[in-house]
Amino acid sequence: MDALSLVPAADAIPAPWWLFEALLITALSAHFILINIVVGGSILAIGSRIASKRPRTVTFEVPGITSALALGINFGVAPLLFAQVLYGHLLYTSSILMAVWWILVIPVLIIAYYGAYVHTGGGGETLRAAALAVSVIALVYIAFIFVNNMTLMLHPRSWTAYFENRSGTILNLSDPTLIPRYIHFMVASVAVAGLYGALRAHRSGQAESGSAVRKGLRIFAFATIIQIAGGLWFLLSLPAETMRLFLGGNSLYTLVLALGVILTVASISFALRGRVIPATASLAAIVVLMVINRANLRSAFLGEFFRPADLRLEPQYGVMALFLLAVVGMACAVRRMIAMLPVSGEGRDGR
């Protein structure tokens, strides 16, 4: 069977493809940062409970984790929307193949979310620790399923498994890039959460924050060093011809990867030297570059059978303008709302 014949026909798009790609990358970057704070922060919080020498001493806690999750989910909706516009015909297919795992993400996410609320609530330490553990397991599951789906969608040759299993329980475990990719994302979340903790402590301006800042920077630096190794593993797990594109074969791909790596090294240096703001700035740039890198990898895999540029255009420029206006309008509204906050900036429950 010719697997490529299984690729469904795609629908027309209402604006140029590069607009959606740009929106996708922007929104996904925001999503990753927010979710990394939540996932990495939860992992660190539970890790610190396990590693702590004195029982019941919490050495690392991410502030505002529930609000970060709320916004992270919101910023997950946007890239999911744009991904469906450009790659929907692939994404729906892979989702269906793993339907049971995919739909379980929803109740599992609700569990993770409520777990986070129980964890930050007023219960006893055992309950809060248990809720955190449940949340971590749930989030780790969700990330794994997402990585499966996002890779399965790019490999129609794996879709023939459907003819042996139509119950929606297929996973992309035979893909050699799956595990390195997953680990790369999970370690990234720890790095981001560590730096976020450092940043929050730094901006709180409190006297005792110094050690928290240092701790956060150390976690960030250490995790990022592991990331370089993990990234290398990820790169090496790619098929040879794809890997070559990132090592000189394609100038854009290589440039983006190289910039990302250079900034990564720089960010480690900043972190080890206690320079929070430069570390944060470079991390933000790294995330964006890595999301572009990820998009390039997607293009490399899709190259042989699909390019978004080939999608038929049925323009809706008027509505597009309305949408962009709404984005700007809401940004202003959000700024106005934040401006209404009391000057001390400290709300209930340390949001």
Partner 1 sequence: MNYPAWETGFFSGGSLIALISVLHVYIAHFAVGGGMFIWLTDRKALLEGCAALDDYLREHNWFFLLLTMVFGGVSGVGIWFIIGLVSPAATSSLIHTFVFAWGVEWTFFLGEIIALLIYHYYFDTMKRHLRLKVAFLYFVFAWMSLLVVNGILSYMLTPGAWPESRAFWDGFLNPGFIPSTVFRSFVAFMFAGLFGFVTAVRMEEGEFRTRMMRYCTKWLLYPMTGLVLSGAWYLYAVPGEIRYTAFIINPEMDPYVRTVVIASILIFAGGLALSLRSGRAAQKAITAVLVLIGLSWMGGFEYVREISRKPYIIGGYMYSTSILVQDEERLNREGVLPNARWAKVRALTPDNIMEAGRELYRIQCYPCHTAGGVRNDIIPRTRSFTYLGMLSQLTGQGTVKPYMPRFVGTRAEKEALAAYIVSGLNGGALDARPEPTAVRPLADAAPPPFDPKNDDYVLLAWNDLGMHCVSDGDPWFVILPPANTLEALLIKRGSTPEVVTENVTISYAVEPGFERPSRHTRFWEFAGATFGKKPAPDTGLTGKGLAGDFTHNAETMSFVADGIPVLPYTDAGTFNPYPLFTVKAKDPSSGKVLATTRTVAPVSTEMGCRNCHGGPWRWKNISGIADDTARDILRKHDRARGTDLLARAEKGKPRLCQTCHADPALKAPGDGKRLSLSASVHGLHANYIPVKGADACGLCHPTHRTGATRCARGVHSSAGITCVNCHGGMGDHAISLLRAEEGKRSAASLTKHLRPEAVRAKTDIKPRKPWINEPDCLTCHVDFNKPAADPSAFNVWTAEAAELYRNRTDNTGSLRCVACHNSPHAEYPARNPYNARRDNIQPLQYGKMPYTIGANRSCEVCHREKKEDEVHHENMLRMVRRAVRQ
> Which of residues 166 and 273 has its CB atom nearest to partner 1 in the complex?
166
Are 39 and 340 within 8 A, CB to CB? no
Q: 3-state class of 348 per DSSP?
A: helix
| Nearest distance, CB of residue 348 and partner 1, angstroms | 5
- Whole-angstrom Cα distance, residue 116 to residue 16? 40
| Nearest distance, CB of residue 178 and partner 1, angstroms | 21
Q: What is the largest CA-CA distance in the chain?
A: 67
| Nearest distance, CB of residue 164 and partner 1, angstroms | 11
> Which of residues 103 and 247 has its CB atom nearest to partner 1 in the complex?
103
> Which of residues 196 and 246 has its CB atom nearest to partner 1 in the complex?
196
| Nearest distance, CB of residue 280 and partner 1, angstroms | 22
Q: 3-state class of 302 per DSSP?
A: helix
| Nearest distance, CB of residue 240 and partner 1, angstroms | 30
| Nearest distance, CB of residue 194 and partner 1, angstroms | 24
Tell me the HSE value of 161 on the side-chain side, using a 13 A CA sphere: 19
> Which of residues 249 and 315 has its CB atom nearest to partner 1 in the complex?
315
Q: 3-state class of 313 per DSSP?
A: strand
> Which of residues 50 and 340 has its CB atom nearest to partner 1 in the complex?
340
Could you say which DSSP state residue 309 is in? G
Are 176 and 158 within 8 A, CB to CB? no
Are 282 and 222 within 8 A, CB to CB? no
The whole-angstrom distance between residue 59's C-alpha and the CA centroid of its chain comes to 25
> Which of residues 241 and 314 has its CB atom nearest to partner 1 in the complex?
314
